[in-house]
């Protein structure tokens, strides 16, 4: 749908959820933000272009918000469908967008060795079946302004979910396409029921991103997996997201204080997930991203200490000294 003059939102199905691709149309160029899966491009994006009389040759920029396969996996297909487009992404996420195996190992396999939480072989095979790696033509760091003809768009560095995450602000409307920069207190299914926890990873960067976006006083936020939020609804979504980080930190500290022994990441999550949301197993395992991020921050503040147990797992305890 065209949610504002020249801004199109294309919701691509991804297994019980959707991933919204956005197209911003100027008089000279068009920018497309995110790609979905490879099949998303052929089965949803291109039919939308045809139905709404959008010219694929007018797409000059494909901007990938970050290195997750549901956001960048279709970029190779977009390269073929939009032959005049430059593929752009946050510089710090470039290596994983350009190398799918690195994405699988470094992003989705981060917790395997120290925490014994990893994607299944079937999940990794699925990623390879729906996503393809692609070269990034232009690395972004935030602050870039791109002239589309009658409008400028601005790239914002929005780390937290990943280090290189970027958002795109349409200057005339002050609407911001945020990808996964902000994630509320749950990631929903199509019908609004909770699918899995917010997967922010770098806590203080995530909090800073939320505060920066709020300071921009946007007319609206256009997330990838949530409906558009306009006006006060956008502010409320930002406040909800920031409040959830405080909840996770508080519950993590409480969980450690209740234990007479050190706890691994998964033990902390098993004991605390019901206080954070209503996800079923194994969905609540994805609290690993946020909880580990908070443990790292608490360790920096010397509120917790880490050790390695005889079973090889990294574990934490409150710092009582």
Residue 181 shares a structural domain with residue 290: no
Residue 220 shares a structural domain with residue 141: yes
Assign 24 a pLDDT band (cuts: 50, 70, 90).
very high
Residue 202 shares a structural domain with residue 299: no
The mean per-residue pLDDT over the stretch 109-124 comes to 96
pLDDT at residue 252, as a whole number: 99
Range of the domain at 306: 244-318
Which residues, 6 or more positions from 113, have their beta carbon under 8 angstroms from its beta carbon? none
Residue 197 shares a structural domain with residue 251: no
- Helix segments in the chain, DSSP class H: 38-40, 46-51, 69-72, 75-81, 94-98, 100-102, 112-115, 121-130, 203-215, 232-257, 265-272, 287-300
CATH of the domain at 265: 1.10.10.10
Select from 266, 235, 255, 233 the least CA-distant residue to 304. Answer: 255
Note the pLDDT tens digit of each residue in 156-191.
999 999 999 999 999 999 999 999 999 999 999 999
The mean per-residue pLDDT over the stretch 42-57 comes to 99
For residues 185 and 178, give the distance between their C-alpha atoms in angstroms, rounded to a whole number. 16
User: Would you say residue 22 has pLDDT above 80?
Assistant: yes
Residue 13 shares a structural domain with residue 150: yes
pLDDT at residue 109, as a whole number: 97
User: Would you say residue 321 has pLDDT above 80?
Assistant: no
Note the pLDDT tens digit of each residue in 286-309.
999 999 999 999 999 999 999 999
Structural domain total, the chain: 2
Note the pLDDT tens digit of each residue in 213-263.
999 999 999 999 999 999 999 999 999 999 999 999 999 999 999 999 999
Q: Among 241, 276, 304, where does a domain finish?
A: 241
Residue 234 shares a structural domain with residue 276: no
Residue 287 shares a structural domain with residue 188: no
Note the pLDDT tens digit of each residue in 58-116.
999 999 999 999 999 999 999 999 999 999 999 999 999 999 999 999 999 999 999 99
CATH of the domain at 120: 3.60.15.10
Q: Among 196, 213, 241, where does a domain finish?
A: 241
Residue 248 shares a structural domain with residue 214: no
pLDDT at residue 197, as a whole number: 99
Mean pLDDT of the chain: 98
Residue 102 shares a structural domain with residue 115: yes
Select from 213, 220, 204, 146 the least CA-distant residue to 182. Answer: 213
Consecutive H or E run containing 195: strand 194-196
Q: Using DSSP bridges, classify how beta strands 138-140 and 145-147 pair: parallel, antiparallel or unpaired.
A: unpaired
pLDDT at residue 133, as a whole number: 97
Q: Would you state the structure tokens that stand for residue 235, as one six-digit string?
A: 């502010």
Q: Among 201, 219, 241, where does a domain finish?
A: 241
Place of tokens 């609407």: 175
Tell me phi and psi for residue 285, to 5 degrees. Answer: -60, -25
């Amino acid at each position: 749908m065209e949610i504002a003059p020249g801004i199109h939102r294309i919701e691509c199905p991804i297994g019980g959820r959707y991933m919204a691709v956005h197209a911003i149309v100027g008089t000279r160029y068009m920018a497309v933000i995110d790609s979905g899966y490879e099949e998303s491009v052929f089965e949803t994006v291109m039919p939308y272009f045809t139905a709404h009389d959008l010219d694929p040759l007018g797409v000059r920029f494909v901007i990938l918000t970050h290195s997750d396969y549901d956001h960048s996996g279709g970029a190779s297909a977009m390269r073929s469908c939009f032959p005049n487009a430059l593929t752009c992404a946050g510089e710090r996420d470039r290596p994983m967008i350009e190398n799918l195996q690195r994405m699988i190992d470094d992003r989705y396999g981060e917790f395997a060795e120290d925490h014994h939480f990893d994607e299944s072989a079937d999940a990794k095979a699925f990623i390879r079946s729906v996503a393809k790696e692609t070269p990034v033509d232009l690395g972004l760091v935030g602050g870039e302004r791109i002239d589309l003809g009658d409008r400028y768009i601005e790239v914002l560095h929005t780390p937290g979910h990943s280090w290189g995450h970027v958002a795109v602000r349409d200057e005339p409307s002050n609407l911001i396409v945020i990808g996964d920069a902000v994630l509320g207190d749950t990631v929903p299914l199509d019908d609004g029921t909770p699918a899995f926890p917010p997967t922010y990873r770098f806590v203080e960067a995530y909090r800073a991103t939320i505060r920066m976006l709020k300071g921009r006083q946007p007319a609206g936020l256009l997330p990838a997996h949530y409906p558009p939020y306009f006006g006060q609804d956008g502010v409320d979504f930002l406040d909800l997201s920031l409040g959830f980080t405080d909840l996770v930190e508080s519950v993590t500290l409480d969980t450690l204080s209740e234990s007479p022994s050190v706890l691994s990441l998964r033990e902390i999550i098993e004991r605390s997930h019901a206080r954070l949301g209503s996800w079923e197993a194994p969905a609540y395992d994805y609290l690993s991203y946020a909880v580990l991020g908070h443990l790292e921050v608490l360790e920096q503040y010397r509120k917790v200490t880490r050790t390695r147990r005889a079973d090889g797992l990294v574990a934490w305890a409150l710092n009582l000294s």
